[in-house]
Amino acid sequence: MRQMDYDRLFVLVQSYFQDHLQRVRGASPHTIRAYGHAVRLFFLFLAERLRRPISKLGLDDIQVGHVLAFLDHLETTRHNAASSRNCRLIALRGLVEHLLRHDLSRAEAYHRILALSGKRTRSRPVTYLEPELARAVLARPDSATPSGAMHRALLLFLYNTGARVGEALAVKREDLQLSRPYQVHLLGKGRKERFCPLWSETVRALRQICLPEQGPQALIFRNSHGAPLTRDGVAYIVAKYATEAAQQYPALRRCRVTPHVLRHSCAVALLQAGVDVTVIRDYLGHASISTTSRYISTNLQMRRDVLERFWDKAGLRSHGTDRWRPTPKLLEFLSSL
Closest to 100 (Cα-Cα) out of 34, 36, 16: 16
Q: Strand, coil or helix: what is 17? A: helix
Following DSSP, what letter does each residue of 199-249 receive, concatenated?
Answer: -HHHHHHHHHH--TT--TT-BS-B-TTSSBP-HHHHHHHHHHHHHHHHTT-
Beta bridge partners of 177: 183
Q: Is 16 annotated in the active site?
A: no
CA atoms within 13 A on the CB side of 223: 12
Q: Is 295 annotated in the active site?
A: yes
Q: Is 189 annotated in the active site?
A: yes
CA atoms within 13 A on the CB side of 23: 7
Torsional sign, CA 169, 139, 131, 254: positive
Distance CA 265, CA 134 (A): 8
- Widest Cα–Cα separation across the chain: 88
Q: Which residue in 6, 241, 283, 295 is the catalytic one?
A: 295
Q: Which residue in 140, 164, 264, 281 is the catalytic one?
A: 164
Beta bridge partners of 184: 176, 196
Q: Which residue in 25, 173, 189, 294 is the catalytic one?
A: 189
Q: Is 263 annotated in the active site?
A: yes
Q: Which residue in 151, 152, 263, 264 is the catalytic one?
A: 263
Following DSSP, what letter does each residue of 248-280 receive, concatenated?
Answer: T-GGGGGS---HHHHHHHHHHHHHHTT--HHHH
Do residues 138 and 153 lie in contact, with contact meaning Cβ atoms separated by under 8 Å? no
Q: Which residue in 8, 93, 260, 294 is the catalytic one?
A: 260
CA atoms within 13 A on the CB side of 105: 3
Catalytically active residues are: 164, 189, 260, 263, 286, 295
